[in-house]
Structures are given as C-alpha cells and as structure tokens.
Chains A and B, each alone.
Chain A
Amino acid sequence: MENTYITDLLHKHFSHDILEKETGGDILTVIVTSPVIHDVIRFLKETENMNFNFLTDLCGIHYPDRGLPLGVVYHLHNLSENKRIRVKTFVTVSNPTIPTVTDLFSTANWMERETYDFYGILFEGHPNLKRILNVEYMDFFPMRKEYPLEDPTREDKDDRYFGR
C-alpha cells in the first residue's frame, strides 16, 4: 500500500480536517483536527482497502510553546500488509477534549486513561476515565512540561549543590 494512496483517500473524505501530512519520516504521519479523530480512526480501521485493524500505541505529548499544546498520538498497524500509520491531533490546555476510540479498540481503554493521568486530556465517551497509575488525589498532570520530575519531599538534596 502506497503512502499517496492513503493520503489521497483521506483527503477525499476529510479534506478540511487534514492539517498536515508528512511522508518523510519512518512512518506516514497525518495530523487531523481533534473533532474528527474518531471518524478518521474508524475510517482507517473499517474501510476495506485501509484495514488498519491494530492499535499499536496511543500516547500524549505536550508542546508548551505551540498554539495547541496538548497532543495525542495514535499508532495504527495494518497487520496483513504490514503498514503502519501515525495519526496525531492537538487540543488546547483550556479545553482538552477529544472523542474516545474505546468503541473501536478495547485496548484504548487503559491507554486513554494513562494519557488522561499524565496530560489531563479528556476523552469524551470513555467508560471509566479516572487516574490509572498515579494516586487518585493527585491534583496535577505530571507529564506536562511545567511540572518538575523530582520528589518535593527530599531534604537531603540541596539545590545549591546540584546547580539547580
């Protein structure tokens, strides 16, 4: 399956919502607007010639300097033709809402919960969107770039000795 075939077909169906496509990297990458992400994933999964029937990975990403800082990255895999595609979508921090894909892939359940836990991205229609790895009373989203990595309760690490 050629990259151009996929992008042409996507353009035909989602002409205005395809923001960017990049064929130079290791995997064909398509950036779409957030409201149509569910439709794009379903199109890629269920269209006969596409058949991207395996969700390899779903994760968040945070670019603090961009207009739409929070992103979600989907890696889909067509197992019969061994073709991978990467789909990205971006949202704002004030309204980080995108549709869930749990109805298409059961595996997206925990991946979306993890993304919510790390980045605070709200997946609309998710059956059980709550924190998965961190403690439930945590009041921030730790993977966002502005939060520190270090444990705040350490007293033996004096910043003066570490150049921080």
Chain B
Amino acid sequence: MDRTIPTYNKVEPPDGYTAPGIFATSFDKVVGIARSNSIWPLPFATSCCGIEFMATMGAHYDLGRFGAERLSFSPRQADLLMVMGTIAKKMAPVIQQVYIQMAEPRWVLAVGACASSGGIFDTYSVLQGIDRVVPVDVYVPGCPPRPEQIINGFMKIQDLVVNESLRRRYSPEYRELLASYGIM
C-alpha cells in the first residue's frame, strides 16, 4: 500500500533550519501559515454578489478547499469580512459596527463593483465604496464577479495573511489607519 502523503493536501513548510529531530523557523511564518489556511469568513452578503457567493460555497466551486469551510456569522469569531453587494448609506453604520466587533487580526475583502466603488449606482442613497467606512485589503471587480474571481480574491487574502508580521497590528501606522476611519 502506498503510504506517501499526496502533495496537494499538505502545506509546504516555511524556510528554516533542519537538523535531526528539530526544525527551527520564525514564529511569524508558522502563525501565518496556520492562519491563512483556516480563515473564517463572515459573509456580509447583501445583493447579487451574495448569490454568486452561494455558488462559490456550493459543491461546484467549493470555497471549503481553501480552509474557509466554516462560515462565521458572528463577527466575534470571524477573521475575514467579505462584503458582497451594494452598501447603502443606511447600511454604512452597520458595516462599520460589524468591523469594530471583529477581533484582531481582521481582513476585509470587497467583492464586486458596488462594494469596491459604488459600481453603477452613483446615486444619492448608495455608499460609494465600503472603503469610506472600513479599511479594505483586497478588491474584487466584477458585477457580479464570477466564483473563480471570488476565489482568486480569497487567495490574495491568503497571501496577505501568510506574509503578515505579527507586529503589524500594533504599529503606529496601523493605529493611524484605523483612527482615520474613526475606529479606535
């Protein structure tokens, strides 16, 4: 019986020093790998893009392959805020509140043209991009984006997560960024 572990099912180890019985690497890298492969997304699905997200979660595209099987509808346990759909001005305080409730470290993925920039809805009632109320890490264009695009955006988030320094969230630059959105 073949006992080799298939390569597609395992994560490559980070750079480090190996010796018999030990493996030494930096803590950042290990934590980054662990985090990036078990991101719990909070789907903030409001409209059309939310339907494409349902397709992404379905059997055909299966976002679960990337360690995001478990949707966290509670912001307290979520790592990634996925905003899918138009955010009206009435909704803007809600989305900021959800972001504030999330624990650090937290990432934001803006899916679709509406969440990124207001899209075709340059109107009196629509927020012109969620980056006016919360900081965004990755934007996914499209109206709505195909599930492949959503997955690609998710993988970009994974890249950010795996390379993030553990100190970033304590840095003055990051504090300044949050303060510019009125989030302390």
Chain A directly contacts chain B within the complex, with at least one CB pair under 8 Å: yes
Residues of chain A lying within 8 A (CB to CB) of residue B124: 142, 147-152
Whether A150 pairs with B125 at a CB distance below 8 angstroms is no
**Is A154 close to B, CB under 8 A?**
yes
Number of A-B residue pairs at CB separation under 8 A: 28
Minimum CB distance partner of A131 in chain B: B90
Docked CA distance A151–B122 (Å): 6
Docked CA distance A143–B177 (Å): 37
**Is A66 close to B, CB under 8 A?**
no
- Minimal beta-carbon separation of A152 from chain B (angstroms): 8
Residues of chain B lying within 8 A (CB to CB) of residue A150: 122-124
Residues of chain B lying within 8 A (CB to CB) of residue A149: 122-124
**Is B128 close to A, CB under 8 A?**
yes
- Minimal beta-carbon separation of B104 from chain A (angstroms): 29
Count of interface residues, chain A, beta-carbon cutoff 8 Å = 13
Docked CA distance A153–B125 (Å): 11
Residues of chain A lying within 8 A (CB to CB) of residue B43: none
Residues of chain A lying within 8 A (CB to CB) of residue B118: 151, 154
**Is B126 close to A, CB under 8 A?**
yes
Whether B123 pairs with A151 at a CB distance below 8 angstroms is yes
Residues of chain A lying within 8 A (CB to CB) of residue B128: 151, 153-154
> Which chain B residues in 95-149 approach chain A with CB under 8 Å?
118, 122-126, 128
- 1/0 per residue A111-153: CB within 8 Å of B? 0000000000000000000000111000000100001111111
Mark A residues whose CB is within 8 Å of B.
Answer: 133-135, 142, 147-154, 157
